[in-house]
A and B are shown apart, each in its own frame.
Chain A
Amino acid sequence: MPIVVKTQNAGKGDWAIIELQGDLEVRSNQDMHGQFIGDLYYNKYGQPILIIGHHILQGREQKLDKPFAVLEKSKTNEGERLLETSMASQDVSMLNATTGAERTVLDHTIAQEHKSRQRTEYTVRAVCTKKLIFKSRPKPIIANVAKSV
């Protein structure tokens, strides 16, 4: 069976992606779940500024050439319908009826597809059309001297 990707209500909620070079790490021996990462600011010109620990990064707000959909996977146990049951028994017979390699491949595919009871589904939870990208090297804030007028 094909896996369905549901898209109702996908128009609601434009989520954001923040793209950082490399990986974020936390101090050793600490679980990172829920830990503070950093503060995000924008200057008056709309440029994003991210302060992580004692690092400061200058970024850019950018439209994604190819937007992302956020898919959420779920499994549903469908109630067995009469047709489904008859298909199941038919599939078993089908496997026994195979002759020749090509048929085996096709039959097996069909049988596998129809035997599936647990149905996987995806839902589009959101679409991301913009991102903040921080690709310059982070600077320690101690050396970030403010411009003098």
Chain B
Amino acid sequence: MESMEVDESAAQLYVRTPEDVKAIVKHAKLDERQLTQLTQALYFPSADVDSDNLRLLELDGHMLGQIRDGQTLYFKGGQNEKLVLCTDERTYDVKGAEISNSLLLVPDLKFAAATSTSPLKSPRTGNANASLERSLNDSTEDELEVPRTLEQRPVLKVFHEYFECREIKPRFRKLGELLQLTRYSGPENEFCVEQKLLFTFSQLLDTVQCSRGQFMEGLNQYRAIELDGRMRVMEYEYEYRIINMMLGLISENSWALDEVEREETINALKGIAPEDVVAGLFDIYTIPSERCPGKFEYQESLVSRIVAQNILQPGLRFRNEEFMRTWQEVLPEGMSCDLKYLRGLGICDKEGAQPCIRSLAEELLPTNISDRMRALFKTKKRWTMEEMEPYIECFTTPNLSVSTLLAKHARSLTDGGVRYFVSKH
């Protein structure tokens, strides 16, 4: 043991030697024949190694795959936002986690298999054979003994914290809010728009807390268009007016619903609306026709929705049948309205004397779940899960479902075989 003492007067640090290793094996009464050949001597981080810059980040399978593929990841977050980490496709909440154990990070440490000159043994089975096997093995080892080797292994850093990640839904709200600040309502109104609040695609991507793939989905969800290099959304009355004119061309040209022509549509509105607005809206609202190559058809869901939004002014309520009739009359012939297209836009309220439709825009509700729940139950006392889902799904995560949220923030009851959720208080 004396040889292990560090001489305090010496500037040099103690370095392990093969003799030291042999001595400690003996002191510990280890059977050297039962050990693999390599010993690795561990050391505290050196004074001249700067490891303050190192962080541990816990990975899931997707993140590990992205790293192996060499994909870039991004930490995102403004001053008033919690940190997120984005891959190409997913977004993660990032938190610091603490652990009372010490995590020693050792580059180049060899694991068991790499320290042995022969394959590792399987765990012993059966007592009867063990003795014989041991004798044979011992005998073999005696004859073929390989000298012990020693390698020095500095620890790079000792950790007690790491970053922990949990997949979350993308946070689009900021995107919607930024785009709404400069919503487009025609070239004649552009003087009202604060030019310095116009952002390019990449500026928005940098600031919105989601992956690139999710960001593209978000732009699509908000029906954003690039105008003069800036991302814009339409003011909805303006959007409705343009779409209405575009839809009018269907009957004017006697097109079937799946025979819509892109160039004809753009040309017909020349002089009425900017070409890139018409082209942008066309590309959003249509999909290629299956029956007629090179032609298009309008998506019923999007058309129905903007028509409904126009009818359903905030605060107004309509008797159910009156609303449905009005809605159907405004739609192009051959398109059908359906309550599912009101998702996140309006609700059917059956609690009064007559069922009625009323406006309830998801994006105008409070952004924390308790306040939102309160607002929802104030609007209507009883909700089915299907009715509530569009209004609280933005709070879900891959591990936290709508039904879990409802179990936590609402009370359920069953009436006439139907399950309803009501306020907890």
A19–B331 CA distance with the chains assembled, in angstroms: 66
Are A39 and B78 within 8 A (Cβ)? no
Residue in A38, A44, A102, A109 whose CB lies within 8 Å of B207? A109
Are B72 and A33 within 8 A (Cβ)? no
What is the size, in residues, of chain B's interface with A at 8 Å between Cβ atoms? 93
How many chain A residues sit at the interface, stated as a range, is 35 or more
Apart from A17-B105, A42-B112, A144-B29, 17 more pairs, CB < 8 Å: A4-B73, A7-B69, A7-B70, A13-B108, A15-B105, A15-B156, A36-B44, A39-B41, A44-B116, A45-B121, A46-B112, A70-B57, A72-B54, A103-B181, A108-B79, A109-B80, A145-B29
Query: Of all chain B residues, which has the CB nearest A7?
Result: B67
CB-CB under 8 A for A6 and B79, given A42-B116, A106-B181 = no
- A85 at interface by CB-CB < 8 Å: no
CB-CB under 8 A for A74 and B53, given A15-B105, A109-B81 = yes
Query: Of all chain A residues, which has the CB nearest B164?
Result: A66
List, in ascending order, chain B residues with CB within 8 A of A67's CB: 58-59, 64
Are B45 and A33 within 8 A (Cβ)? yes
A46–B81 CA distance with the chains assembled, in angstroms: 47
Query: Of all chain A residues, which has the CB nearest B1?
Result: A54
Are B101 and A19 within 8 A (Cβ)? yes
- A79 at interface by CB-CB < 8 Å: no
List, in ascending order, chain B residues with CB within 8 A of A146's CB: 29-31
Query: Of all chain A residues, which has the CB nearest B102?
Result: A20
* 28 examples of A-B residue contacts, CB within 8 angstroms: A1-B206, A3-B75, A7-B67, A7-B69, A11-B70, A13-B107, A18-B103, A22-B102, A31-B47, A39-B21, A40-B39, A40-B41, A42-B115, A42-B116, A43-B35, A45-B120, A54-B27, A66-B58, A67-B59, A68-B56, A70-B56, A70-B105, A71-B55, A103-B181, A105-B80, A109-B81, A127-B67, A127-B68
A2–B111 CA distance with the chains assembled, in angstroms: 37
A7–B6 CA distance with the chains assembled, in angstroms: 41
Are B102 and A49 within 8 A (Cβ)? no
List, in ascending order, chain A residues with CB within 8 A of B120's CB: 44-46
Query: Of all chain B residues, which has the CB nearest A9?
Result: B70
List, in ascending order, chain B residues with CB within 8 A of A128's CB: 56, 105
- A61 at interface by CB-CB < 8 Å: yes
Are A90 and B59 within 8 A (Cβ)? no
- A35 at interface by CB-CB < 8 Å: yes
Are A109 and B78 within 8 A (Cβ)? yes
Residue in A16, A112, A141, A145 whose CB lies within 8 Å of B79? A112
Are B28 and A36 within 8 A (Cβ)? no
List, in ascending order, chain A residues with CB within 8 A of B81's CB: 109
Residue in A35, A54, A66, A109 whose CB lies within 8 Å of B44? A35
B357 CB, nearest partner CB in chain A, Å: 30
Are B64 and A127 within 8 A (Cβ)? yes
Contact string against B for A residues 51-79, beta-carbon threshold 8 Å, 1 for contact and 0 otherwise: 10010100001000011111111100000
Are A18 and B109 within 8 A (Cβ)? yes
Are A20 and B105 within 8 A (Cβ)? no
A45–B130 CA distance with the chains assembled, in angstroms: 14
List, in ascending order, chain A residues with CB within 8 A of B203's CB: 110, 114
Q: How many residue pairs at the A-B interface have CB separations less than 8 Å? A: 251
List, in ascending order, chain A residues with CB within 8 A of B27's CB: 54, 141-142
Are B59 and A127 within 8 A (Cβ)? yes
Are B44 and A71 within 8 A (Cβ)? no
Contact string against B for A residues 110-125, beta-carbon threshold 8 Å, 1 for contact and 0 otherwise: 1011100000001011
Query: Of all chain B residues, which has the CB nearest A16?
Result: B109
Stretch at the interface among B8-16, B252-260, B307-315: B8-16
- B71 at interface by CB-CB < 8 Å: yes
CB-CB under 8 A for A90 and B111, given A2-B76, A66-B60 = no
A37, A41, A106 interface centre (most CB from chain B within 10 Å) = A41
Are B53 and A45 within 8 A (Cβ)? no
CB-CB under 8 A for A39 and B72, given A18-B109, A66-B58 = no
A87 CB, nearest partner CB in chain B, Å: 8
Query: Of all chain A residues, which has the CB nearest B86?
Result: A2
Query: Of all chain B residues, which has the CB nearest A103?
Result: B181
Query: Of all chain B residues, which has the CB nearest A69?
Result: B57
Are A44 and B59 within 8 A (Cβ)? no
Are A51 and B24 within 8 A (Cβ)? yes
A109 CB, nearest partner CB in chain B, Å: 3
- B266 at interface by CB-CB < 8 Å: no
Are B64 and A144 within 8 A (Cβ)? no
List, in ascending order, chain B residues with CB within 8 A of A68's CB: 56-59, 162
